[in-house]
């Protein structure tokens, strides 16, 4: 009964909040007003509270621009979490565009959809991401290319850093800043989940989205740590593969510190 009530409250809050803000976002998108970047953060912040995601931040968003945030990826909830702490746009897989509700919301937030398997479109997609970076927008890249179980960071795909390289000729000082960000789901109802229970917060690709969303909404009360590490400068002399490995290591360090409760707040 309580679980059903929670689902009803979350659905009602989602509908009321989304329908109230939708006209404002559409108008902002139409005229190119800066509120189109700010409104999604407010929406994400409210929805995190409604769903029961308690987001805790360590470190801070770099003020350097152009800025590419590179994070580990555990669940669809990562979008809400990162979207609640900064004005960002996401790089998403092309199939996300067709997802019910989430795909529509991703389009409203001006996500960049990429088709990684279609090589002939790679240049245009990289150009769009680099243009966003150069314009001052903060772009989020999930460099693992898929979701993990929340206990580890999988190898980063260095080719996904191509947008940073493409933005260099247009960057004011010939430099793009890449900031590692770690996301860690640590507690459920205030109790540490531990290694074997943490996948409860994760969303493996072979699990249907709808049932997983319902389970998260019913359970609620998840503590999430977001760890901002120092940004890494990236210029024409920088080796892309080495940078990918460095950023991967820093994301892994942040994840491990959060899971072990060793963050400096």
Residue 139 in any domain: the answer is yes
Residue 35 in any domain: the answer is yes
Reading the block at residue 213, the tokens are 């969303």
Q: What is the pLDDT of residue 247?
A: 97
Largest CA distance in the chain: 60
Residue 127 in any domain: the answer is yes
Q: What is the pLDDT of residue 93?
A: 80
User: For the segment 28-66, what is each residue's pLDDT rounded down to a tens digit?
Assistant: 999 988 899 899 999 999 999 999 999 999 999 999 999
Residue 265 in any domain: the answer is no
Q: Give the CA count within 13 Å in the CB-facing half-sphere of 25.
A: 20
Residue 264 in any domain: the answer is no
Residue 173 in any domain: the answer is yes
* pTM recorded for the entire structure: 0.92
Mean pLDDT, the chain cut into blocks of 10 residues (265 residues total): 82 93 93 91 95 95 96 93 96 80 85 67 69 92 88 89 87 93 92 79 73 81 95 93 96 96 78
The strand pairing partners of 226, in sequence order, are 57, 183
Q: What CATH number does the domain containing 152 carry?
A: 3.40.1130
Q: What is the pLDDT of residue 7?
A: 86
Residue 117 in any domain: the answer is yes
CA 135 to chain centroid:
19
CB atoms closer than 10 angstroms to residue 151:
18
What backbone phi and psi angles, to 5 degrees, belong to 159?
-65, -25
Q: What is the pLDDT of residue 120?
A: 45
Structural domain total, the chain: 1
Q: What is the pLDDT of residue 117?
A: 55
Q: What is the pLDDT of residue 159?
A: 81
Q: What is the pLDDT of residue 198?
A: 77
Residue 250 in any domain: the answer is yes
DSSP for 119-183? Answer: GGGHHHHHHHHHHHHHTT-EEEEETTSS---SS--PPP-GGGGHHHHHHGGGSTTSEEEEEEEEE
Q: What is the pLDDT of residue 115?
A: 72
Name the residue range of residue 218's domain.
2-259
């Amino acid at each position: 009964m309580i679980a059903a009530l929670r689902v009803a409250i979350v659905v009602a809050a989602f509908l009321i909040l989304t329908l109230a803000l939708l006209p404002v976002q559409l108008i902002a998108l139409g005229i190119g007003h800066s509120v189109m970047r700010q409104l999604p953060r407010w929406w994400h912040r409210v929805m995190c509270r409604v769903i029961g995601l308690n987001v805790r931040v360590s470190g801070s968003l770099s003020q350097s621009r152009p800025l590419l945030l590179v994070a580990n990826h555990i669940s669809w909830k990562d979008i809400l979490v990162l979207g609640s702490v900064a004005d960002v746009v996401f790089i998403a897989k092309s199939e996300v565009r067709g997802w019910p509700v989430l795909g529509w919301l991703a389009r409203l937030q001006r996500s960049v959809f990429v088709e990684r398997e279609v090589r002939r479109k790679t240049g245009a997609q990289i150009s769009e991401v680099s243009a966003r970076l150069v314009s001052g927008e903060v772009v989020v890249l999930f460099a693992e290319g898929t979701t993990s179980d929340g206990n580890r960071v999988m190898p980063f795909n260095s080719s996904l850093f191509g947008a940073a390289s493409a933005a260099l000729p247009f960057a004011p000082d010939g430099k793009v800043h890449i900031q590692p960000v770690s996301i860690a789901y640590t507690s459920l109802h205030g109790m540490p989940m531990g290694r074997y229970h943490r996948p409860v917060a994760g969303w493996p690709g072979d699990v249907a989205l709808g049932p997983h969303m319902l389970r998260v909404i019913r359970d609620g009360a998840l503590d999430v740590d977001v760890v901002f590490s120092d940004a890494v400068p990236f210029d024409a002399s920088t080796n892309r593969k080495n940078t990918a490995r460095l950023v991967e290591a820093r994301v892994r360090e942040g994840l491990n510190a959060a899971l072990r409760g060793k963050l400096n707040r």
